[in-house]
Every structure is written in C-alpha cells, then in structure tokens.
C-alpha cells in the first residue's frame, strides 16, 4: 500500500488528509474521520491499514481546527461544522482519479459514528456505513450526567460564548480527564481509554472551546436512521459509560438494512488489542462485501 498526503478545502479552511491506496486500480474508497475532540493520528491509521489489506482505498481526514487542518479556535467541536467537513471530503474524494468515487463507504467512531449516519441519510450514493460505538442521541447521552456536572458545563459554555464575543478568544476546558476533575469526558474509562489511542511521541491537544455543551443535547443522529437506504454495520459497546447502550439499540432498530454487533466492553476497548483485531476484521469484511461488488 502507499499513503499520499493531501489537503482539501472546507468553508475557507484547508483540511489535512491521507489517501491510502492498495495495489488495485481504481479501488472503492472508504472515507474516515475521528470522533469527539480527536485527530486522525489516534488509531485511525490502524483501521485504515486493515481496510487497505482488503483492496479498499481509504481517505482519512481531520476536521477544520484539528490536527493538520487550519482554522481557529483550535479543537472547535461542532456537529454542524463536522458535517460540513464530511460533505466537503466526500465531494473531494469523488473527484480523485485514483479511486472509484461511485463505490464509497463511510466509517465513523463515537461522535463521528453519529455523523456517518446523518451523512448517509442526506448524501446520495453512499454504498455502506460502519458506525462504531456511535453517539446517536444527545438527549440520551446528557441523561447520564449528574445535575452538578451539567450546571458546571453550562457555566463554562456561557463563559466561552461571552469570552469569544467580547474578548475574541475562546474559553477552553479539558476534553478528557479523571473523574476528580472537570472535563467534557471524565468517566472512569475516559483518561486511560484516550491515552491508549495515542501513538508514540504524540503531543495531546487536550482542550476545546466549551461552547459544544450548548449544542450537544440537540444533536440527534437517531432521527436520521430511518432515512438511510444503504447497509449499515453498528458496533455496540455494552458497557459504554459515554453513550447509553439502549440508545444504540433504538437507533439500530430504525435502520432499514442493519447489522448490529454487540461486545461486552467499554467505549474505548474496540480501538486496541485483541478486540481491535476482531472488530476491524468484521468491519473490513463488511466494507469489502458491499463495496467491492459495486466497483
């Protein structure tokens, strides 16, 4: 396989991307991006390489304001902006001469596991979707957190809006922390799980503008599930402390053509170790089945 470094434009900014290519001429292509507050270095190459081994091209990108992409403030988490970047990435990939842009799959995990459901419902011509430990319902996810946490998060978000408006600088909070500290993600599995994704010599960017708190409850990919016409593979973590497992089941029940795989693990366990090997094989088989026959 080979990897090509690319840039594409989304709403005036340049998004960093990698195009992985197998030896096959004009292969089908899988478009991938990360979830909540993460960049493409955090274990996405491992999944991409598994898919390339099956004869698929893979396009991995960073959202605006993340990783290799341009944009300020840094690490701005926004469902609306993320979805705009997904659409821009798909348009860009469909114009690449190296791949068969008419045989395209989507892969998302956690926050982007919800994004790919929305995009598959709205963008014509998507042939298959992998939605791994997906964020599907902001209302359901918000119900996991105690009132004290929600009040503190809301206060940080309002402070960010005021600071951005009047001081022209964001008010940042930690993305991930131990339960004893405030962060957007601070259940017991979060800090060790996030650390397990980091490659050697990685410098974490563990901060984000707090304004995401104001939009998160209203982001509900579950509403788009009935509109998806292509096959969907959903990977569910039954011991997930960030996403209510029941909300994943409800989402799967609404998808017309769905395969739901359940594992008795936490949110981050699917990214590494033996479970990564098992899950990535299931995903690679699924994508190859539905994309190679289209190409």
pLDDT at position 1 is: 86
Please state the separation of Cα 261 from the chain's center in Å: 18
Q: pLDDT band at residue 293, thresholds of 50, 70 and 90? A: confident
pLDDT in tens, 227-272: 999 999 999 999 999 999 999 999 999 999 999 999 999 999 999 9
Ramachandran region, residue 100 (left: φ > 0; alpha: ψ -120 to 50; beta: rest): beta
Nearest to 77 by CA among 188, 282, 199, 219: 219
Residue 295: the pLDDT is 64
Q: What is the DSSP string of 120-167?
A: HHHSTTEEEEEEES----HHHHHTTS-HHHHHHHHHHHHHHHHIIIII
What is the rounded average pLDDT of the residues 172-178? 98
Q: Which helix (H) or strand (E) holds 94?
A: helix 79-94
pLDDT (tens digit per residue) in 86-101: 999 999 999 999 999 9
Q: Are 186 and 146 in contact (CB under 8 A)?
A: no
Across residues 178-183, what is the average pLDDT?
Answer: 97
Cα separation, 191 vs 200, whole angstroms:
17
Number of H helices, E strands in the chain: 9, 10
pTM above 0.95, yes or no: yes
The pLDDT of residue 66: 98
Tokens 């998160």 — which residue? 216
Q: Is the pLDDT of residue 114 over 90?
A: yes
CATH fold label, 2-138+219-291: Rossmann fold (3.40.50)
pLDDT surpasses 90 at 45: yes
29 pLDDT more than 70: yes
Torsion over CA of 247, 250, 254 and 260, rounded to 10 degrees? Answer: 90
Mean pLDDT of the chain: 97
- pLDDT classification of 48: cutoffs 50, 70, 90: very high
pLDDT higher than 70, residue 4: yes
| Residue spans per domain, the chain | 2-138+219-291
User: Residues 24, 30, 34, CA angle at the centre, nearest 5°?
Assistant: 140
């Amino acid at each position: 396989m080979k990897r090509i470094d690319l840039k594409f434009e989304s709403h005036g900014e340049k998004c960093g991307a990698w195009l992985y290519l197998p030896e096959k001429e004009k292969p089908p292509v899988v478009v991938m991006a990360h979830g909540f507050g993460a960049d493409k270095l955090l274990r996405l190459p491992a999944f991409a390489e598994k898919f390339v081994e099956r004869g698929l091209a893979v396009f991995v990108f960073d959202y605006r304001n993340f990783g290799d992409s341009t944009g300020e403030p840094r690490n701005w988490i926004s469902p609306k902006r993320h979805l705009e970047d997904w659409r821009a990435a798909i348009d860009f990939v469909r114009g690449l001469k190296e791949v068969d842009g008419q045989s395209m799959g989507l892969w998302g995990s956690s926050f982007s596991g919800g994004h790919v459901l929305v995009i598959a419902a709205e963008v014509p011509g998507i042939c298959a979707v992998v939605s791994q430990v997906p964020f599907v319902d902001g209302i359901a996810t918000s119900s996991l957190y105690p009132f004290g946490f929600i009040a503190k998060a809301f206060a940080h978000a309002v402070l960010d809006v005021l600071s951005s408006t009047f001081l022209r600088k964001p008010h940042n909070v930690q993305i991930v922390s131990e339960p004893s500290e405030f962060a957007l993600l601070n259940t017991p599995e979060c800090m060790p799980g996030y650390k397990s994704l980091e490659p050697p010599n990685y410098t974490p960017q563990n901060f984000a503008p707090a304004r995401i708190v104001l939009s998160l409850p209203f982001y509900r990919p579950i509403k788009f599930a009935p509109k998806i016409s292509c096959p969907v593979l959903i990977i569910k973590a039954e011991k997930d402390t960030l996403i209510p497992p029941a909300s994943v089941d409800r989402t799967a029940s609404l998808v017309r053509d769905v395969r739901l795989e359940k594992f008795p693990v936490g949110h981050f366990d699917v990214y590494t170790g033996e479970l990564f090997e098992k899950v990535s094989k299931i995903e690679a088989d699924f994508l190859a089945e539905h994309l190679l026959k289209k190409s």
